[in-house]
């Protein structure tokens, strides 16, 4: 297993839609393990394939570090979502702060539906459906967006984006000090 470098803000791969995964393979299983290693090494709770330069419909997540500290949130452990499809969102629109491993040190409030229902294949290619709310729903929606070529910055107003301009420039130039391996746009 390996820690992979994470693609950073403004790399074109982060704005592209991903392709479905047709079959399970030893290479896919190794990639999943590497993605978990990369996510944990970066102190993240989710990582989508485009963030490591792969345009496939895959993300991994483990929100337990956050849910264990929040009353009423259930822990699910590490999850692998292959070819996910959000089939329903519900509940109130909730504002919560988000960040992204591809946009280090930038955090801002994003409004998303409180609940989500998602169909996916697990790492054994078994069909699953997950209904989630709270923090887990937030992570799922954030990572799913990556598979659609959408970043959390896309939800911000022009004014809010301007507030992050200096950090975004540092990320784009590769001059921001990051505690995990990254691949700045080059």
Which are the catalytic amino acids? 143
Where in 45-102 does DSSP place strands (E)? 46-48, 58-61, 79-100
Cβ distance 51 to 14 under 8 Å? yes
Phi, psi at 10, each rounded to 5°? 80, 5
Strands lying side by side in the sheet with 46-48: 46-48, 58-61, 79-100, 103-121, 127-133
* Cβ-based neighbours of 142, under 8 Å, separated by 6 or more: 46, 98, 100, 110, 152
What is the rounded end-to-end Cα distance, in angstroms, of the chain? 26
Where in 49-175 does DSSP place strands (E)? 58-61, 79-100, 103-121, 127-133
């Amino acid at each position: 297993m390996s820690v992979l470098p994470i693609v950073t803000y403004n790399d074109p791969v982060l704005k592209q839609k991903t392709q479905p995964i047709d079959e399970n393979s030893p290479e896919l299983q190794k990639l999943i393990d590497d993605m978990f290693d990369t996510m944990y090494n970066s102190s993240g709770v989710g990582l989508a394939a485009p963030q490591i330069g792969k345009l496939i419909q895959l993300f991994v997540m483990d929100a337990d570090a956050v849910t264990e500290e929040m009353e009423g949130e259930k822990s699910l452990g590490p999850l692998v979502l292959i070819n996910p499809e959000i089939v329903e969102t519900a509940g109130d629109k909730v504002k919560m702060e988000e960040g992204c491993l591809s946009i280090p040190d930038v955090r801002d409030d994003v409004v998303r539906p409180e609940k989500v229902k998602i169909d996916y294949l697990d790492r054994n290619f078994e069909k699953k459906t997950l209904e989630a709310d709270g923090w887990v729903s937030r992570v799922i929606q954030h990572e799913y967006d990556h598979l659609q070529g959408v970043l959390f910055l896309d939800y911000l107003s022009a004014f809010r984006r301007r507030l992050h301009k200096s950090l975004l420039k540092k990320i784009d130039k590769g001059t921001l000090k990051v505690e995990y391996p990254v691949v700045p746009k080059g």
